[in-house]
Amino acid sequence: MIHRIKSLAAGLAFGVLVSVPALAAEKPVELPFMGGYVEEHPVVASVWKPFFDKAEARFAGKIKFSYFAENMLYSNQAEAMQGVSDGRAAFGTIRPSVHPNEFRLLGVINIPGLVPNAVVGSLVLADIIDHFPAVRAEFPKNTEHFTSWTSASYQMHTKSPVHSLKELQGKNIVVWDAVSHTMVREMGANPVMVSPPDTYWTLQRGLADGILCPLAPLKAYRLTGLVKHHLMLDAMVQGFIMEASHKQWNAMPADMRKWLKAEGGAGMALDIAQALEERVQAEIAVMETMDHKFCRVPEADKAEFDKVMASMSELWKEYCEGLDPVLLDKLLGYARCRADFHTKAWKAGKYSD
């Protein structure tokens, strides 16, 4: 089961525990796991909770995971990189788009229109990380890469009906990251940057008219009663990486590190992605019974929307100014090639289980 650290003191005490060999400790070594998602999220229930149980059983209770959602282990997601590097999190989720200056190359996965969903996005992201040393060089110091994944596709969720880009003009739209901020601005709306936990009161107090995000977080952040109109843009996905702090990772015995590595990687990425996509379909079915309305971008509006999507590739290259242009072309070309490969496999049913 998921264990929670009852106080910051418990987390700090971990530094004392790892000063002796893990296998020699009388009590299990507690591993603070900052997953980002609230505990009710499907990824926690169907991927990470079983992983915790499996790991604790595999090593006879010598390790014990303590789960933290966002804002529990440190004040906000912008602290994630430092929080993993300094060991506050033994394993920590980092949203690269919150740190666009540090993850310029990895930002290729966020380009709108590149991938259709979380499954394809997560597999492409794993391929990119594995294939390009320059991408891995962007990861925070003093960390070991554990896994990566992408969100489900971003849609536009609003309080009042929005059926086209024209109807978005001038509206205040909540965004959680730099790429969404840019895209909302490109669509003619006003981005309002807040953290996910602060979204409810931002909408509830009338400070925003809607939010650009995947469907699944709407329930987790209690937004389904506030935004009941959904323009299904399939705009983009957002990448996530999970890193292990060297402070804790290097204190583990070799067999434990090897086992954890095998459990993470692309296999866990696919499990997370499948959980996200299953949640999308389940949420749509439930919301339709609650008088939520779903619509697609009208044909007359698609050309304008496609222009917005296409411009984001160039904006990514502009943001990477100063980096090797040959590398940028190779990275973008590789990402598109792998996206095409995995999309075809997904449509053929390869990743349906």
pLDDT single digits (tens) 139-194: 999 999 999 999 999 999 999 999 888 899 999 999 988 788 988 998 899 999 99
| Statement: residue 138 has pLDDT above 70 | yes
Q: Rounded mean pLDDT of the chain?
A: 87
SS (H, E, C) the chain: CCECCCCHHHHHHHHHHCCCCHHHCCCCEEEEEEEECCCCCHHHHHHHHHHHHHHHHHCCCCEEEEEEECCCCCCCHHHHHHHHHCCCCCEEEECHHHCCCCCCCHHHHHCCCCCCCHHHHHHHHHHHHHHCHHHHCCCCCCEEEEEEEECCCCEEEECCCCCCCHHHCCCEEEECCHHHHHHHHHCCCEEEECCHHHHHHHHHCCCCCEEEECCCHHHHCCCCCCCCEEEECCCCCCEEEEEEEHHHHCCCCHHHHHHHHHHCHHHHHHHHHHHHHHHHHHHHHHHHCCCCEEEECCHHHHHHHHHHHHHHHHHHHHHCCCCCHHHHHHHHHHHHHHHHHHHHHHHCCCCCC
pLDDT at 12: 38
Rounded Cα–Cα distance for residues 68 and 34 (Å): 5
What phi-psi label fits residue 251: left (phi over 0), alpha (psi between -120 and 50 degrees) or beta?
Answer: alpha
Domain positions in the chain are 8-151+238-278, 155-235+291-317
pLDDT, residue 303, reads: 79
Of the listed ranges 60-69, 96-105, 303-312, the least confidently predicted one is: 303-312
Model pLDDT, residue 38: 81
The yes-or-no verdict on residue 331 having pLDDT over 80 is: yes
Confidence of residue 319 (pLDDT cuts 50, 70, 90): confident
Residue 22 has pLDDT above 50, yes or no: no
Q: Was domain 8-151+238-278 assigned CATH 3.40.190.170?
A: yes
What is the reported pLDDT for 217?
A: 83
Same fold, 8-151+238-278 and 155-235+291-317: yes
| Domain made up of 155-235+291-317: CATH architecture | 3-Layer(aba) Sandwich (3.40)
Task: Report the share of the chain in percent with pLDDT over 90.
Answer: 61
pLDDT of 301 strictly over 90: no
Chain segment 221-242, per-residue pLDDT in tens: 899 999 999 999 888 999 999 9
Q: How confident is the model at residue 353, as a pLDDT? A: 60
Identify which of 257, 272, 249 has the alpha carbon closest to the alpha carbon of residue 92: 249
- Kindly report, residue by residue over 111-135, the tens digit of the pLDDT: 988 998 999 999 999 999 999 999 9
Higher pLDDT: 315 or 352? It is: 315
Question: pLDDT tens digits, residue range 244-259?
Answer: 999 999 999 999 999 9
Confidence label for 315 from pLDDT (cuts 50, 70 and 90): confident
